[in-house]
Structure 1
């Protein structure tokens, strides 16, 4: 019975079994559970293709999860086009009643997108965008190939993983974090990343594919 189930899952293209307490944020068929900013309808650029959420190069706008999260273990698979740029943000809230902001796990072609190597690595894949660079020896697959990413948030402590390897850690209560925020583009964004908020799939106008989005609340 178990062998038959595994064969069926593999045939459906499921790359790994969900943890018993994991919740899927994507049903593989629709954008159910996601909205545009301020409850708007997702833009036409967001489509579902072959079991993945795909931003096809047209305007889609940012997508927000309907629910907020504090402590969690979030994982997903993704790929970008050559020269492409995208990201997933978390602890996203509306700042100054104007813009939706949060900590961004960057997903980018490090070598061919002009933003990839700016900021001393803080704009590269798996970075805490514009805040902290990932490990230099991160295991990254090239554009057009799938990568697996993971973010763990627990009591203000954050971890970024790429293809199974821990490539970045931060403690948002530490002086080091506060210093890095002060040196970043978010320095004047009062209330930035308050320790809870929504998940955001960003629209950076490039083609991206995202699938198997799962979250475990902790």
Structure 2
């Protein structure tokens, strides 16, 4: 009987150890944001297939290329808790809140508010710290509390731990206000953020980093206006891994290179996608001299000279479906025509065909049915 009693006590202890964390999580209304097994609820936006992986119940990021892992759904008001650690000194990463579904023009990052994840050896300057800065990027807005003249909010004290130690972040987002507790104490705050409803992202930025114990508690809505909501998911997927030319073939070897999140060429030789498309919506960013959009697209052909092309980054968006061609440049419709035709359309590759040195980024496509 004594032995049976010991076994029963042992079993009860094991059950308690197994289910107590789940019970505590349920009692305070937190829910796992990451299930510890796979990326259900998450999406790799613009990284290579192996940039993000699950190891030992943690999210592991190689840091290459620069890019984002994003939630499938938006969040408005919430409390987010996460543990993170860099695996090398001077590591750089981040957590984005209220972010758009896709990357900003000419950038590997989304418009949103970033909660900085920097390793201590990166150093501290007047412009940034390694202890939990918060700042809006790429068109987002936020008023910093404890700022230094710009839009970045700085922590009131240094609390983060160096690699390879774990750090705990508690991010509270409510009605456009945001606060960050680092290892148990609130140190950084901002207010009046726009957007104030959007996606949550984890950032890859050059160095291996791990995340674990992600959980979220949603708070009541404060009814954001449409202009206060981030740009939503549209079903696009990337055609560029950020680390190599997988899925593409150059007409001449050695003329194209993968420069992290940018594709670069000196011009004069085409690069063709291996997948082929018939009806689709695509968008891509490019930067080059001149007024020609360096694309040859299926059932569209060469895109003609576009006077609205700028010297900086441009974003072209092309819709081609049976009976319609629509071309937008930097958010404005520049060509739209109805076409009298009978289907089906022919499948073809996307061709990048610049005649001058050009950079490309953020090549996304959505196939239409």
Alignment of 1:12-31 (within 5 A): 17-20=24-27, 21-31=29-39
* CA-to-aligned-CA distance 1:9-44 (integer Å, 9 cap, x gap): 68xxx799424321211110111111122xx68631
Who is 2:59 aligned against? 53
Asked whether 1:84 is paired with 2:104, we answer no
Match of 1:93 in 2: 100
Q: How many residues align?
A: 189
Counterpart in the other structure of 1:156: 176
Aligned to 1:66: 72
Q: State whether residues 121 and 133 of structure 1, in contact with CA within 8 Å, keep that contact through their aligned partners in structure 2.
A: no
Task: Tell me the alpha carbon deviations over residues 68-126 of structure 1, each in whole angstroms, 9 at most, x when there is no partner.
Answer: 1110000011101222111101000158963522111111113x22xx424x2534331
1:137-156 matches, cutoff 5 A? 138-156=158-176
Bigger fraction of residues in strand = 2
TM-score (norm 2): 0.46
Residue by residue over 1:109-150, the C-alpha shift from the partner in whole angstroms, topping out at 9 and shown as x without a partner, is 13x22xx424x25343311046111112x3222210111101
Relative distance call for 1:4 and 1:68 in structure 2 (3 A) is same
Contact 1:44–1:59 (Cα < 8 Å) also in 2: no
Structure 1: gaps (5+ residues): 174-192
**Higher gyration radius (CA):** 2
Q: Which residue of 2 aligns with 1:32?
A: 40
Partner of 1:183: none
TM-score relative to the length of structure 1: 0.75
| Alpha-carbon contact 2:171-2:181 (below 8 Å) kept | yes
Cα distance, 1:7 vs. partner? 2.1
Q: Given the alignment, which residue of 93, 105, 111 partners 2:115?
A: 105
Q: Which runs of 5+ in 2 are unaligned?
A: 1-10, 136-150, 220-369
Greater RCO, 1 or 2 (C-alpha within 8 Å, sep 6+): 1
- The partner residue of 2:152 within 131, 137, 142 is 131
Residue of structure 2 equivalent to 1:208? 209
Query: How many angstroms apart in 2 are the aligned matches of 1:107 and 1:2?
Result: 40
Aligned to 1:190: none
